Structure 1
Amino acid sequence: MIIDLSMSNFRSFQKDQMLSMNVEGAHTRHSSNYTLIEDGRIGVLRSAAILGANASGKSNLLTALMAVRWIVQSSSGRKEGQSIPPYEPFRLSEAGQSQPVRLEIEFVVPSGVRYRYELAFSNNRILEERLYSFARRVRATIFERSPDDTWETVKFGGTFKGGSRRFPFFPNAAYLSRAGNDASAPEFIREIYRYFGDISHVPAGNNFFSLLPLTNASTLAAVSELICLADTGVNNVTMEEKEGTDDIKLPDDMPESVKDIILSQNRLSARYWIRSQSGELVAFDSDEMSDGTTRLLYILPLVLEAFEKGAVLAFDEIDAHFHTDIVDLILRLFHDNEINIRGAQIIFTTHDTNILDSTSLRRDQIWFVTKDEGSSTLKSLDEYDRKYVRHDSPFETFYRDGRLGALPRVSYGKVKEAILGALAAKTAFRKDVTDA
């Protein structure tokens, strides 16, 4: 579970901004929307909705989370001197381009221990890296690394126990990435490494997902049943192997995860079975189905995996291709105490204002992103004065009325003037061509 995620000088987030999944009061309201940890002392939200105008920076928030995931999971594989891909500083100021990106995340692993991980990095060097634990509810340093440290001088706290602790790595790699993938490291380090590996990301409008989970009979059966129950008109889904795909050759340096996706999508195909008027089942290929139905096929294994592992699902534009009732269904599943028993979370961006419903979401689950002079700001609905926005207020109405900000600032008059000008110019061009 993520408790909070902070970022600064990353993409459109120039100044430090924090997404908090910590329950802020009102513990009796929508109590199934959060998980209690540390003997009930802390409540952690199971979902967070991010709204804002186009290009406000919503997706960048999810990208920040995936940047942490990449550094933990993949940076140890970089060759000496290679750049760090997530180094994407704020580009609209000269200072930003010469400063490090800073990312911090507080989280709880499946064993129940709470940690805080802090990073600062430049284009080709991890400058600062720290890991703290709260095993006894007091912050304790596990390890820390300063700009002058090498793999030989990383400092360790007294809570680092069991297994090996010192591993060689290049300056462009995270210690946690190197140690977490080494069998001689302590189990708690490897658990943290696995935790970040279990975070899933659904990019906006992207169907580049592996079909391998659907080769598991129980997973396919569950996904098929859920698609049928989602009022898609489908009666069954099956997977078939294509012929003549064994000779697919891919570059040796291509990431294994990408290889798996490409190979699975070339070797496997889904068949959707729909009952005809005469009662027979007729097979349809994916390209004959709606985008929403095929997207469910890709997304549902990730949802089931999140519940199974108590993992985080970062979902960009959850409403893309999905009816608002499907979005509501997904949220209800994450908020169900009988299904979500391991503290799985979904953090999603959306333009669907129907989710702004005080009967289903808490104030602290709703976040708005605004952009001013290219710099994004993140603000929770819970930060608004309770005298004006109560727990039972009509959130959607307030948002649509512009009381909460984060709406597109578009002047219809100027848009109309621009279109009329463009049409006039085209007409004049055609006349000139005709006269010539």
Structure 2
Amino acid sequence: MLLRFRVANHRSIRDECELSLVGTATGDSAARVTTLRDQGKAVSLLPVIGIFGANASGKTNLLRALFDMRDAVRTSFAEWAAKPSVPRQPFKLDAEAMDETTLYEVDLMLGVNPIRYTYGFELSDERVEAEWLHAYPEGKRVVWFDREADRPESEGGEFIFPSSDSDSSTGFLGKQDILVPVTRPDALFLSTGATLNDPQLAALHRWFMNNLWLMTPGRDVKARSDWTRRLLADPKRGKEYQEWLVELLSVADLGISGIDIDRKNGEITLRHRGSDGSDVALDFLGEESLGTHSWFAFLGPMLSVLDAGTVLLVDELDSSLHPTLAAEVVRLFQDPKSNPRGAQLIFTTHDATLLGTAVLDRPLAREQVWITSKKTSGATDLYPLAAAGPGDDEDLERGYLRGRYGGSPRVSVGEIARALAWREKEREREQEAKASA
């Protein structure tokens, strides 16, 4: 499970930002208690985080940063050597940022008997400037490796393995003499070691391989629909997925009563309940609504993540789903019965109803709400809702829409209409001036 994510100098994120999924509430909380302990107290983790903010405030860039970190771990060993420079996107509105490193770091909880790990790296255009991996068995930090490109040989050189030097059985036990020489300056040590089958590094590498699925509504609907179809065609669990999908499609009040699957070509047909009680089949591509397509495309990735206990990133949840369905998706991840494997959902949205009580009861607790806003420099600022100081009984939906917590467009009532009216008057003056000339 993901505990924290830290990033700096990535797209609109100029200064360091940290997103935490660690529960902070002392009373009624959506967080789940884990076996991890911090200063003698059990650590709890949130299954859902919602990120709110105005357009172009950096919500998407935060999700993209997580996905790009995943992509770096997956591809640096095999693909970066063929690229003209290390793939990264530093903040462009400050010339100095182009020469500074881009930082990524995650805190994770891994294993059957969960152990916390901290893994991160810094990239320049030329190479991996720094990389580190720390484990916390029994709550105590053990440095598996620490990499710094400019560390002098007198201090150990680029790579040091402190835990190995102390013969720690909880440290990194891999074959340093083999892995270090074959790690290119422009490749991550984690990617290199996992590719060469180091068992300790492979466990962490698998987390990046199997986690952080990014959904971008409106751009990847076909790919996600194909994902849902593949679940239905699965020879072992296709019938089980079919039952789940029929139930979820029915719950969405789309009038769907069943699914027919052509096992030869993978085509599907959704059946609808007719006015006389009989089932009527509609062609999926030609006759189903956009809303049905969006929900169908959403279900495949969601069910896969719930089934595997991984992390789903959804950009603009409200673009795919009606507010009532969006609230139900949140509740699906919140409920231990429907999410027994501890899957996590991190989404961006403009849907303020998720902060209010209009959609049944508010599905998000205060500790699950984060805000992005744009500074005057154009850089993204990220902070939890609690930092804005809302009162205990405050209407969060109204407060957010009124801009009390930041993250809302600075537009006064009627300002856009007035701007267009002003432009129209300018055109009239220009035409009058030409006519009188």
1:102 aligns to what SS in structure 2? strand
Q: Give 4+ residue runs of structure 1 displaced > 6 Å after superposition.
A: 425-434
Partner residue of 1:403?
404
User: C-alpha separation between the residues in 1 aligned to 2:77 and 2:4?
Assistant: 25
1:399 aligns to what SS in structure 2? helix
User: C-alpha separation between the residues in 1 aligned to 2:431 and 2:7?
Assistant: 51
Change (3 A) 1:201 1:84: farther
TM-score, length basis structure 2 = 0.84
Conserved? CA contact 1:75–1:84, under 8 Å: no
Give the stretch that moved more between structures: 350-359 or 134-143. Answer: 350-359
1:68 aligns to what SS in structure 2? helix
2:317 aligns to what SS in structure 1? coil
1:130 aligns to what SS in structure 2? strand
Aligned match of 2:34 in 30, 33, 36? 36
User: C-alpha separation between the residues in 1 aligned to 2:423 and 2:263?
Assistant: 51
Q: Deviations over 1:92-119 (max 9, x none)?
A: 0010111110111111124312111111
Aligned 1:128-207 pairs, distance under 5 A: 128-148=130-150, 154-156=159-161, 157-158=163-164, 159-161=170-172, 164-165=175-176, 166-167=178-179, 168-182=182-196, 184-186=197-199, 188-199=200-211, 200-206=213-219, 207=221
Conserved? CA contact 2:142–2:171, under 8 Å: no
Conserved? CA contact 2:86–2:124, under 8 Å: no
Partner residue of 1:77?
78
The alpha-carbon deviation at position 53 of structure 1 amounts to 0.5
Partner residue of 2:301?
302
Change (3 A) 1:429 1:302: same
User: C-alpha separation between the residues in 2 aligned to 1:375 and 1:287?
Assistant: 44
Q: Aligned partner of 1:154: which letter?
A: F
Aligned match of 1:237 in 252, 255, 259? 259
User: C-alpha separation between the residues in 1 aligned to 2:379 and 2:205?
Assistant: 32
Conserved? CA contact 1:78–1:172, under 8 Å: no
Partner residue of 1:284?
283
Q: Percent same amino acid at aligned positions?
A: 27
Aligned 1:16-415 pairs, distance under 5 A: 16-26=16-26, 28-31=27-30, 33-38=31-36, 41-80=42-81, 82-83=83-84, 86-111=87-112, 112-148=114-150, 154-156=159-161, 157-158=163-164, 159-161=170-172, 164-165=175-176, 166-167=178-179, 168-182=182-196, 184-186=197-199, 188-199=200-211, 200-206=213-219, 207=221, 208-209=223-224, 210-211=226-227, 212-216=230-234, 217=238, 218-240=240-262, 268-278=266-276, 279-357=278-356, 359-373=362-376, 374-385=378-389, 388-390=390-392, 392-412=393-413, 414-415=415-416
Q: Deviations over 1:247-275 (max 9, x none)?
A: xxxxxxxxxxxxxxxxxxxxx44322213
The alpha-carbon deviation at position 129 of structure 1 amounts to 0.7
User: C-alpha separation between the residues in 2 aligned to 1:84 and 1:20?
Assistant: 31
The alpha-carbon deviation at position 148 of structure 1 amounts to 4.1
Change (3 A) 1:304 1:380: same
The alpha-carbon deviation at position 292 of structure 1 amounts to 2.6
- Residue 1 of structure 2 is aligned to residue 9 of structure 1: no
1:89 aligns to what SS in structure 2? coil
TM-score, length basis structure 1 = 0.84
1:117 aligns to what SS in structure 2? strand
The alpha-carbon deviation at position 408 of structure 1 amounts to 0.6
User: C-alpha separation between the residues in 2 aligned to 1:378 and 1:97?
Assistant: 21
User: C-alpha separation between the residues in 2 aligned to 1:232 and 1:5?
Assistant: 37
Q: Aligned partner of 1:55: which letter?
A: A
2:409 aligns to what SS in structure 1? coil
The alpha-carbon deviation at position 291 of structure 1 amounts to 2.4
2:52 aligns to what SS in structure 1? strand
Conserved? CA contact 1:91–1:97, under 8 Å: yes
Conserved? CA contact 1:270–1:286, under 8 Å: no
Change (3 A) 1:297 1:124: farther
Change (3 A) 1:161 1:117: closer
The alpha-carbon deviation at position 302 of structure 1 amounts to 1.8
Q: Aligned partner of 1:2: which letter?
A: L
Change (3 A) 1:309 1:84: farther
User: C-alpha separation between the residues in 2 aligned to 1:425 and 1:34?
Assistant: 59
Change (3 A) 1:404 1:153: closer
User: C-alpha separation between the residues in 1 aligned to 2:85 and 2:44?
Assistant: 35
Give the stretch that moved more between structures: 326-335 or 412-421. Answer: 412-421
Conserved? CA contact 1:125–1:171, under 8 Å: yes
User: C-alpha separation between the residues in 1 aligned to 2:421 and 2:402?
Assistant: 29
Partner residue of 1:248?
none
Conserved? CA contact 1:233–1:274, under 8 Å: yes
Give the stretch that moved more between structures: 419-428 or 48-57. Answer: 419-428
The alpha-carbon deviation at position 35 of structure 1 amounts to 4.0
Q: Deviations over 1:365-416 (max 9, x none)?
A: 101100012111011012233xx522x4321122122211211112455523
Give the gaps of 5 or more residues in structure 2.
165-169
If each structure's helix is expressed as a fraction of its own residues, which one has the higher value? 2
User: Across the two proteins, how many residue pairs are aligned to each other?
Assistant: 403
User: C-alpha separation between the residues in 1 aligned to 2:388 and 2:425?
Assistant: 46
User: C-alpha separation between the residues in 2 aligned to 1:237 and 1:83?
Assistant: 48
Conserved? CA contact 2:118–2:133, under 8 Å: yes
The alpha-carbon deviation at position 426 of structure 1 amounts to 6.5
Change (3 A) 1:425 1:227: same
Change (3 A) 1:334 1:419: same
